[in-house]
Amino acid sequence: MKSALHDPHKVSIDFRDELLAKNWLDDQRVFEMTGTRPKANAHHYAAHLRVAGALLGVWVARNRSFRYPDFQFHTQHGLRPEVSDLLRVLPSNEDDRGGWRRAFCLYSPHGLLNGDIPAGVFAGEPQRIVDVAMLEFNEDSDAHW
């Protein structure tokens, strides 16, 4: 019998719940932060940004909705334009429909960042995070052998 400490599924669920406790933005808040015209529909607008690769959303089954990690937004100025560069490098929506694989990568300590968390570094050094993601996801894995 596996202890909860060594059960990968339990560890993933706990990490997911820890990330959701950050109260990431919902569709309406994304809509408000980006200054979209009032006649647009918040749900459709956020879905369009996700499909276009300009916004990372994570699916929250219990709410039957997406939430949007905070690293993607300026405090007062809406969506960071570099997010789309990062999302082009990370696994695609087809490979990560719920967005959690990408969120786990972005909120876990990374060796190429001396243990820093990519999402935390992104605000000050977005290109550095894009470059690290390119090394991790686009390089030939046999190139270092």
- pLDDT tens-place string over residues 60-70: 998 899 999 99
**Cβ density class 51-74: b for 16+ within 10 Å, e for less:** eebbbbbbebeeeeebbbbebbbe
* Total H helices, total E strands in the chain: 7, 4
Q: Does the predicted model carry a pTM greater than 0.95?
A: no
Angle, helix 82-89 to helix 126-138, in steps of 10 degrees: 10
d(CA 114, CA 94): 30
- Grade residue 140 by pLDDT with cuts at 50, 70 and 90: low
pLDDT at 144 over 60: no
Domains of the chain by residue range: 4-138
Contact (Cβ atoms closer than 8 angstroms) between residue 117 and residue 110: yes
- Grade residue 145 by pLDDT with cuts at 50, 70 and 90: very low
Q: What is the DSSP letter of 70?
A: G
Contact (Cβ atoms closer than 8 angstroms) between residue 113 and residue 121: yes
Alpha helices in the chain (DSSP H): 8-20, 27-33, 42-51, 82-89, 100-106, 118-122, 126-138
